[in-house]
Amino acid sequence: MEVVIMAGPAEVGDFAAGRIAELVSTRPEAVLGVATGSSPLETYRSLAARRDAGLDLSRVSAFALDEYVGIRHDHPESYHAVIDREVVQPLGLDPARVHVPDGLADDLDAACEDYEAQIAAAGGVDLQLLGIGENGHIGFNEPTSSLSSRTRVKTLAPSTREANARFFDSAEEVPLHCLTQGLGTILDARRALLVAQGASKARAIAEIVEGPVSSRWPGSVLQLHRRATVVVDEAAASRLQLAEYYRYTVEHRRIVQPGA
Ligand code: GLP
């Protein structure tokens, strides 16, 4: 796992956006996994600025991680609406290439299977951008999610509903259920890029980076990924025991020369 510690939230977003821009420059039809929540907003902001400077994201496809069950797609806090507002519009993505699980489907299990099939049909995800919940969830894979889970219906933890109450008028209004890509689905992405900022994420970051791989802290599954990068600001890094080592490895990163 590559761990990168940046000064603050804006630098985290800029670093992550740089990785995405690099990918899209070499592969304009890249398939991105996109996340909601506040963590990736700086990344989207930096990507929007790069778009203004000429980066073309119009041929990129995107798959959202998750969606609430039972709220209309035009509800401002549905992830359909959030992805459209925070990602599709500012980055100039083609809406026809952007996919969000259907939390309004009559048959939710079939919708989950269909979502997996859509990802496979697109050739899989090249780079999955992730945030992390204070309880270590990625997507909506709450603690004790199966490490090889696929897209499915989950019940949101009470603490997640409370954390997301800020987007609604009250905690009761936050849906009880969601559809989320599974941890196994996320592991299938060719690269994983997790961003976290602020002291409230410091415990989760320490657990997933330096703790055991365990469904107790679902993000720890990224330790099993071949190309996972965790980008954090100083506050989110504050409980990492090996912070100096991560800084050292970034400073001495090997530049591989072709043919060397
Ligand atoms: C949300 C999302 C996750 C996100 C996490 C943290 O509910 N489903 O994808 O990473 O919780 O949210 P935030 O970035 O707002 O702290």
* 133: CATH: 3.40.50.1360
258 within domain boundaries: no
256 within domain boundaries: no
pLDDT classification of 166: cutoffs 50, 70, 90:
very high
Residue 131 CA: nearest ligand 1 atom is: 10
pLDDT classification of 171: cutoffs 50, 70, 90:
confident
pLDDT classification of 257: cutoffs 50, 70, 90:
low
Could you tell me which residues come within 8 angstroms of residue 255 by beta carbon, excluding any fewer than 6 positions away?
none
Residue nearest to atom 6 of ligand 1 (CA): 133
Contact between 17 and 87 under an 8 Å Cβ cutoff? The reply is no
58 within domain boundaries: yes
Structure confidence at residue 235 (pLDDT): 98
- Report how many domains make up the chain: 1
Pairing relation of β-strands 61-64 and 31-34? parallel
* Average pLDDT rounded to a whole number, residues 143-157: 97
Structure confidence at residue 256 (pLDDT): 62
161 within domain boundaries: yes
pLDDT single digits (tens) 175-223: 999 999 999 999 999 999 999 999 999 999 999 999 999 999 999 999 9
Pairing relation of β-strands 177-180 and 152-155? antiparallel
Q: Which domain holds residue 91?
A: 2-251
Structure confidence at residue 73 (pLDDT): 95
21 within domain boundaries: yes
Decide if pLDDT at 258 tops 70: no
Which structure tokens are listed for 50?
A: 């790069």
260 within domain boundaries: no
> pTM to 2 decimals?
0.96
**C-beta 61 within 6 A of ligand 1:** no
Starting from the edge strand earliest in sequence, which strands make up the sheet with 2-6, in order?
A: 2-6, 228-233, 191-196, 127-130, 31-34, 61-64, 98-99
**C-beta 36 within 6 A of ligand 1:** yes
Decide if pLDDT at 87 tops 80: yes
Decide if pLDDT at 95 tops 80: yes
